[in-house]
Structure 1
């Protein structure tokens, strides 16, 4: 009787552990073989992910597949099954010539599909993620579309409901047809990182949310705008658990660097766990342009590390929620090591359906009446936010002419700033100050008397 009671208790606890965090969005994480071999899989909180992509099964031009080191990863297979995490077969190739042959040579494509089928038969994969990068422009449209279409049909023959996804670039350069791709695939994993890196002649974040020439907001509102309007639930916002490291002559953000081979100041990528362990004792700063943190210190040169932490990732997650995307993705599982703060952030943002539902279906802000009003030259503007929001503040005259004071993400809290009429060349008259977040607005009337 005691043994039976203990057995039932253990079963109940296991079920509770599996179901205690009901994730309301897809949390997709890549686990690279080099992190697995270092033991990083031991720190994965399986109850806080929905998909784990085994990275990677490398395809060659003939359609052969090379398994990741030490495959099969039996502990990962077991833990994924226990926690109802979908295992994803990650297929990679970064050679444009080899990818072209896989797309256009029927023998290579047939061999690849057969090799994919054998992995599905031997292991409990729930889907496949294609990570083909550096494509020739001629392969970004028709050839890719045909390949994905043929693969989807093949998967349907292997087993119903197998997921097909594609690791897509954040910026539409060339002949990409994202709209057709998303109709074939179950979803696209948008790699919202490497916007800036070793190829740039200035320091910058890998994953800027706002500002700079390229950023996440622009990717979704320009490059993927049609899909965001029609099927946002088929897009995953991928985020980096790593940062960019440069040595520079100047200490300022976005400073120029020497990209010549003889004096290259690019030092490489650093994982989040490396940054926290070795560099957190240096000066930490926040870049309001990109909404990302960075670190600097001086030895023989200035050092700059641009990375993401729970603050910047939290803003990206809010963005994904507000855009009603399918979810978020992580490159890469293990890059945070045994630290818990990034897991805690996922739990906070995505494990409470009511909280998150309220986050993206409603909002709360208040624009207070300016003081003094009427005013001469200067007046104080105050507004408050009850959650993190993208806030746009505009000044409008009676002719309908607008001045955008700012348009950026803001944290929950109270804000105030001084509006100087001389700075904006304002003349006497009536003005309307409008605050907007998404579809909602609030307006107050102000009077400037000279």
Structure 2
């Protein structure tokens, strides 16, 4: 079956929508874009691949599976052993509380596979129109109808939880109104003798009116949609999910927008990450260049169609991007193993409940992102203790290794000290200085990108530390392998 192409060209208009937080999220954009395929899509009936051995996860891994990816057949490559939650996307709610099932529902193979692997099956309810959502919040008959429809599907298909993805909520409804909605949903489920998880798909930034701590109090989980910082509304290129840089980034969102939840209930937060990026036509080769058009492009298409392009690293946002020139300059900003690894480290360092994926299937057939999840979250829970102040200085093996262009080097420091981290070829010639500054005690990671001018082979990286007091001096060299 010919797969749907998830590259939709949009013209970029000079817009201030990001400033006011009124742009459409990728959840809404993809949903509306793929509605036109529902009438013509054929269901893939291939048998599911066998799972690898079961993994014990020490964090939640919550993935949305959209109906268009199910019908592409990409669900056959899901590592169920590396998921805790699979959210079926989506059951569309109207203003009266009626639900429209996702195309082709029920997906019997997904239901069976989730149950067999103890993956919680989540019913995702969506609505992207503020006044329609307001009707559900304020009209008891409409709200009760919605709850009744949710319960009917939960009982029929054995869902373990409900994810509410209501977006473009009116500002007046973002405080006690939405919180009361969750209270009434919980009470309705209890009356039906249902003990279900309730989660909410939440904006990454509080653009006004949100009380995330109150929502967390009345939900089991908040799925933070940690993306859409740049998109079709932007006048320049940039990362969908910047880890750092500027006023708006993932680190600042956890530190400020979600600070009250971090302090009281960090285990309820799930940091969603993008398995997609943005393709831009640009006016120059520079990062953050003025853009003339924009596309959404999923991870699988980036690595399949553009792996021969120049791969770069934006140290401002800690994000990967590529560029090339044909009739004009082109840029693709996306997340790969290196940038996702740093986002997962952020989630671990804040001791939040876990991470989430938008969307399952966007990596179709690729294994590296599953291996990264396995590396970060499928090991003993001792991972958490690494984020206490270390008792010694240690240089870790880079990951991935061998690597193709991009890898991440981690090290831990037991005291505030000056750090030098350099890369050499096998002849001892210095080819990169990754760190040359003072660092606080703790766990640190830095990406390393080798351009296409470097050939496959063994490279060395050396950490040198000097600290007064208990940190002392330290030097260690390790090998890493570039494999083109």
Correspondent of 2:131 among 79, 83, 97: 97
> 1:204 is paired with a residue of what secondary structure?
coil
1:56-81: per-residue Cα shift (whole Å, max 9, x none)? 00000110000000000000001001
* 1:40, distance to aligned residue in structure 2 (A): 0.9
**Residues of 2 paired with 1:48 and 1:103: CA distance?**
35
**Residues of 1 paired with 2:316 and 2:174: CA distance?**
32
Report the counterpart of residue 270 of structure 1 in structure 2.
Answer: 297
Q: TM-score, normalised by structure 1?
A: 0.78
Q: TM-score, normalised by structure 2?
A: 0.73
Report the counterpart of residue 156 of structure 1 in structure 2.
Answer: 190
**Residues of 1 paired with 2:171 and 2:413: CA distance?**
37
**Contact kept in structure 2, 1:182 and 1:234, CA below 8 Å:** yes
* 1:358, distance to aligned residue in structure 2 (A): 4.3
Change in 2 beyond 3 A, CA 1:170/1:31: same
* 1:105, distance to aligned residue in structure 2 (A): 1.2
Change in 2 beyond 3 A, CA 1:24/1:212: same
**Contact kept in structure 2, 1:198 and 1:266, CA below 8 Å:** yes
**Residues of 2 paired with 1:121 and 1:330: CA distance?**
26
**Residues of 2 paired with 1:309 and 1:234: CA distance?**
26
**Residues of 2 paired with 1:389 and 1:113: CA distance?**
51
Report the counterpart of residue 233 of structure 1 in structure 2.
Answer: 267
* 1:157, distance to aligned residue in structure 2 (A): 2.1
Report the counterpart of residue 250 of structure 1 in structure 2.
Answer: 284
Matched, 1:85 2:112: no
Report the counterpart of residue 353 of structure 1 in structure 2.
Answer: 380
Matched, 1:32 2:66: yes
**Contact kept in structure 2, 1:53 and 1:129, CA below 8 Å:** yes
Change in 2 beyond 3 A, CA 1:18/1:306: closer
Report the counterpart of residue 344 of structure 1 in structure 2.
Answer: 371
**Residues of 1 paired with 2:150 and 2:77: CA distance?**
29
Correspondent of 1:175 among 209, 227, 230: 209
**Residues of 2 paired with 1:83 and 1:296: CA distance?**
41
Stretches of structure 2 lacking an aligned partner (at least 5 in a row):
1-49, 395-408, 420-436, 448-460, 474-484
* 1:86, distance to aligned residue in structure 2 (A): 0.3
Stretches of structure 1 lacking an aligned partner (at least 5 in a row):
1-15, 258-264, 368-384, 396-403, 418-431, 436-440, 445-450
Report the counterpart of residue 165 of structure 2 in structure 1.
Answer: 131
* 1:231, distance to aligned residue in structure 2 (A): 1.4
Moved over 6 A (4+): 16-19, 388-395, 404-408, 432-435
Change in 2 beyond 3 A, CA 1:409/1:245: farther
Report the counterpart of residue 315 of structure 1 in structure 2.
Answer: 342
Correspondent of 2:323 among 296, 305, 322: 296
Report the counterpart of residue 331 of structure 1 in structure 2.
Answer: 358
Report the counterpart of residue 39 of structure 2 in structure 1.
Answer: none
**Contact kept in structure 2, 1:62 and 1:111, CA below 8 Å:** yes
